[in-house]
Amino acid sequence: MNMWWLLPAATLVALILTGALRHYALARSLIDIPNARSSHVVPTPRGGGVSIVISFLLALVLTANLGAVAWSFAWALLGAGAGIAVLGFLDDHGHIGARWRLLGHFIAAAWVLFWVGGLPPLELLGFSIDLGWVGHVLAAVYLVWLLNLYNFMDGIDGIASVEAICVGLSSALLYWLAGYDRLALLPLLLAFAVAGFLYWNFPRARIFMGDAGSGFLGVTLGILSLQAAWTAPQLLWSWLILLGVFITDATWTLLHRLLRGEKVYEAHRSHAYQFASRQFGKHLPVTLTVAAINIGWLLPMALLVSGNILDGVIGLLLAYLPLVALAVKFKAGAKEIC
């Protein structure tokens, strides 16, 4: 059955819902007020990412009912995605302690690994390595880190949305060229759902995504990458390459803050993209640069790996080198000067 009509439908649902959520946020005074740790200067409603959650999960249920997606995989996405979104929604409305959020994140990761079967054997420099239970632990840490770094990287207008759209569209292209067309529908649905939200979030943003949306995107992209790994080992490396902008900036920043003994769960403005946005004086150039890096550099590198032209580990290192250089150039993780 042709289900490509779901793509514009997901965009339309997210577009309408985001507008409704903006009215809800204004009525409930769910407003991000600028402070010394903020990258914005205008009070802005938050929580609009719930529209992405609803539109994507509704489409997911429909595709599973129609047999386009296996229910075992659909349950992984539904349970973890909805759980993380609810946790983020509650945090957007009040405050949940960092330890309780982290516990919820690991419970969601365990749920995912139960349904997808853990981490498949990895392909490293031509060798297939089965890490067993250690691999499952690493996969759980990977999922938790990805959903948290997505929250960390959602700090300027449009950046988290543009990243999700680029990764979703790029992974769909990888699948199509590699002969795995059946896998392309879900990342495309996610990208199209995010596009409906981006209309309201593009610089200058009229509503922010909030923890519900950013956490949901992070864990969903992580789950989709694990599905790719079970399909073909080299596809996992391609996914890691596509996610490179967020992974390198967030990880480099985290390591620097840990070395200084700072509390990593506290709000800050020391990511490379935040320093860059302050240097340029606006968000738009940084958000557009992220899109350009994704399309002009990371996508070609991911295609070389998915096409077995380049080894996954080597491709990942080559793809990340200029990203780390950019992180260094824009002083990612450097101590902020007030």
Q: pLDDT per residue over 201-230, tens digit each?
A: 999 999 999 999 999 999 999 999 999 999
pLDDT at residue number 43:
87
Residue at token pair 């923890």: 211
Q: Which of 23-27, 32-36, 315-319, 329-333 has the highest mean pLDDT?
A: 315-319
pLDDT category at 151 given cuts 50, 70, 90 is very high
Mean pLDDT over each residue of the chain, to the nearest integer: 93
Tens of pLDDT along 266-313?
A: 778 899 999 999 999 999 999 999 999 999 999 999 999 999 999 999
Phi, psi of 252 (to 5 degrees): -60, -45
Question: For the chain, how are helix, strand and coil distributed in percent, rounded to 5?
Answer: 70, 5, 25
C-alpha closest to that of 26 among 40, 39, 41, 44: 44
> Quick one: pLDDT band at residue 38, thresholds 50, 70, 90?
low
- Residue 91 pairs in a beta bridge with none
Query: How many angstroms separate the CA atoms of 38 and 43, rounded?
Result: 10
Closest CA to 238 of 176, 333, 323, 319: 319
Which tokens sit at 306? 């998915």
pLDDT at 127: 80
The pLDDT, as a whole number, for residue 154 is 93
Q: How many CA atoms lie within 13 A of 245 on its CB side?
A: 25
Coil, strand or helix: which one is 49?
coil
pTM: 0.95
Strand partners, 199: none
